[in-house]
Amino acid sequence: MKAVIQRVLKSSVTIEGETVASIDNGLLILLGIVDEDSQADIKWLSNKIANLRIFSDDNGVMNKSIIDVNGNAIVVSQFTLYATTKKGNRPSYIKAAKPDIAIPLYETFVKQLETDLSKKVQTGQFGADMKVELINDGPVTIIIDTKNKE
């Protein structure tokens, strides 16, 4: 499981002209899933994101988590995070999990993050053509891969 975490002042997801998710002050999380991902990956990644200290304290030091600042989150599925670009110029997405595996893992991740944050997490729509807007705060962008925990 791979996540691109962006600290945002605001973010939204629009599908066919309708805004389906919108937050102020929080995290936009782009989530990629592979066949080998498990419940252990979900729990580890959700806990890591919930406790990641990337929000500024009163001294301007990144020392607070999304929980500490009562921030919000949007999770967007993004199979392109597992693009392979070694051959030619057309990316291959063969490593990304197919929907029958990815959708349940994606939904479980969202539920786990809601538990870890003690609040509702907004989402895009799996497999939809989404327009994602954000104002990246900092900019702060962190990439986490559960296969590289150590």
**Run of H or E including 126:** none
Query: Which of 6, 78, 122, 146 is flagged as catalytic?
Result: 78
Q: What's 57's DSSP letter?
A: -
How far is residue 113's CA from residue 75's CA, in Å, rounded to a whole number?
Answer: 9
Burial zone of 145 (CB within 10 Å; 0-12 exposed, 13-18 middle, 19+ buried): middle
Nearest to 50 by CA among 74, 66, 72, 69: 66
Q: Can 78 be counted among the known catalytic residues?
A: yes
Query: Which of 6, 55, 79, 146 is flagged as catalytic?
Result: 79
Q: Can 79 be counted among the known catalytic residues?
A: yes
Q: Please, are residues 144 and 2 in contact by the beta-carbon 8 Å criterion?
A: yes
Query: Which of 19, 80, 84, 141 is flagged as catalytic?
Result: 80
Distance of CA 23 to the CA centre of its chain: 14
Q: Can 55 be counted among the known catalytic residues?
A: no
Query: Which positions are annotated as active-site residues?
Result: 78-80
